[in-house]
C-alpha cells in the first residue's frame, strides 16, 4: 500500500529532525495554522493523507504557563481539529501523536505507560487533554493510533527556556551558582527519538509508548558534565526537595528498539 505521509510541526525541533532522519520518505508538510479548521481540512482532503505524524505544539513550560489560552488552542484544539478532519476523510490508516512525559506525576521508580496520569505542568495538562481526545475518537472509529510520550531531550535549536540551553548560557558566567538542581530526569537524543517513532510507524504500533533512555541523571550532575567540557567553575546549591521522572521503556524495546546515545554523547552533539 502506498502511504501519503502527512506531518505537522515540520519546522520544530522534533518535526524537522524526524524528516531529516527519514530522508528516504517524502512527507507532505502542513504549512498552515493548526488552530484553523478550514486550513486543516483542505490539507488533509486535498493531499489524500493516510498516515499522519502530529508534532505541532507549544512546548516550553514557561511559555505555556504565561499564555495558557494560546497553548491550549494549539496543543488541544489544534489536535482536536486535526483528529476530527482525519475521521471525516476516512483515509487515515495510522495516526501518531507526539506527547510528553509531563502527563505523568513524579515517581522514584521507572514510569510505565500504565501509570496513572497526573500532569506536572500546564504543558502536560494540555497534552493530556489532547491524548484523551485522540484515544476516544480513534478507538470509537477503530482507526489505529499511536501516542509517543517523549521524555527530556535537547537540541541546539531549542531556546533558553529548555534545560540544557539554559545551563549553557548560565555556565558561561564565572562562578555562577545553580539552585534547585536536585532533580532526576531522563534525557534521550533526538536521533533516538526519531528512530523510535520510525519503528513505531514501521510496525504500525498501536496504543501508548514511552520514548526515553530508561536512565535517570541528576540535573546537578548534568551541570558538572557541561562545566568540565567548557572548563568552567560553578557553584551548586541543592534544594531539599527532590523530584524524579524517568521512563520504563520495556514496552517499546519489545519492538526491537533501544536508545544508542548516552548523556555524554548527547551533550557532545549539542
Which segments in the chain show pLDDT lower than 70?
A: 1, 23-24
For 181, the 3-state DSSP assignment is coil
Report the C-alpha gap between 194 and 52 in whole angstroms: 15
In the prediction, which pLDDT does 38 show?
95
Query: How long is the chain?
Result: 270
Three cell numbers at 188?
Answer: 534521550
Count of helices and strands (H, E) across the chain: 11, 11
Report the C-alpha gap between 5 and 92 in whole angstroms: 10
In the prediction, which pLDDT does 110 show?
97
In the prediction, which pLDDT does 63 show?
83
- pLDDT tens across 92-110, in order? 999 999 999 999 999 999 9
* Nearest alpha-carbon partner for 161 in 62, 71, 72: 62
Report the C-alpha gap between 209 and 114 in whole angstroms: 10
* Nearest alpha-carbon partner for 222 in 241, 236, 206: 236
The cell 501518531 sits on which residue? 96
Report the C-alpha gap between 241 and 222 in whole angstroms: 18
Domain boundaries, the chain: 5-153+187-211, 163-185+216-246+262-269
Please give the span between the terminal C-alpha atoms of the chain, in angstroms, as a whole number: 38
Report the C-alpha gap between 252 and 146 in whole angstroms: 12
- pLDDT tens across 17-75, in order? 999 987 667 899 999 999 999 999 999 988 889 999 999 999 877 788 889 999 999 99
Where does residue 54 rank: exposed (0-12), middle (13-18), buried (19+ CB within 10 A)?
A: buried
Three cell numbers at 58?
Answer: 507549544
In the prediction, which pLDDT does 23 show?
63
Q: How many Cβ atoms are within 10 Å of 209's Cβ, its own excluded?
A: 26
DSSP 8-state secondary structure symbol assigned to residue 90: S
Report the C-alpha gap between 140 and 216 in whole angstroms: 37
Say yes or no: domain 5-153+187-211 is CATH 3.40.50.720.
yes
In the prediction, which pLDDT does 47 show?
86
Amino acid at each position: 500500500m502506498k502511504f501519503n505521509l502527512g506531518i505537522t510541526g515540520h519546522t520544530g525541533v522534533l518535526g524537522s529532525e524526524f524528516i531529516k532522519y527519514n530522508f528516504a520518505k517524502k512527507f507532505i508538510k502542513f504549512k498552515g495554522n493548526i488552530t484553523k479548521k478550514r486550513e486543516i481540512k483542505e490539507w488533509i482532503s486535498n493531499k489524500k493523507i493516510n498516515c499522519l505524524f502530529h508534532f505541532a505544539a507549544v512546548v516550553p513550560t514557561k511559555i505555556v504557563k504565561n499564555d495558557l489560552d494560546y497553548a491550549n488552542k494549539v496543543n488541544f484544539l489544534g489536535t482536536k481539529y486535526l483528529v476530527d478532519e482525519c475521521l471525516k476523510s476516512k483515509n487515515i490508516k495510522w495516526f501518531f501523536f507526539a506527547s510528553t512525559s509531563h502527563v505523568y506525576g513524579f515517581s522514584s521508580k521507572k514510569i510505565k505507560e500504565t501509570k496513572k496520569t497526573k500532569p506536572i505542568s500546564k504543558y502536560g495538562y494540555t497534552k493530556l487533554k489532547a491524548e484523551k481526545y485522540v484515544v476516544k475518537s480513534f478507538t470509537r472509529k477503530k482507526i489505529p493510533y499511536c501516542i509517543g510520550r517523549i521524555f527530556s531531550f535537547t537540541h541546539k535549536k531549542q531556546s533558553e527556556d529548555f534545560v540544557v540551553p539554559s545551563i549553557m548560557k548560565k555556565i558561561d558566567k564565572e562562578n555562577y551558582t545553580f539552585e534547585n538542581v536536585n532533580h532526576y530526569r531522563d534525557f534521550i537524543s533526538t536521533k533516538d527519538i526519531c528512530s523510535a517513532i520510525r519503528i513505531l510507524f514501521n510496525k504500525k504500533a498501536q496504543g501508548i509508548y514511552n520514548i526515553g533512555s530508561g536512565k535517570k541523571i541528576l540535573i546537578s550532575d548534568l551541570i558538572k558534565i557541561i562545566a568540565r567540557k567548557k572548563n568552567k567553575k560553578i557553584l551548586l546549591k541543592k534544594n531539599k526537595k527532590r523530584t524524579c521522572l524517568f521512563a520504563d521503556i520495556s514496552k517499546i524495546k519489545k519492538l526491537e528498539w533501544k536508545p544508542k546515545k548516552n548523556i555524554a554523547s548527547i551533550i557532545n552533539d549539542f
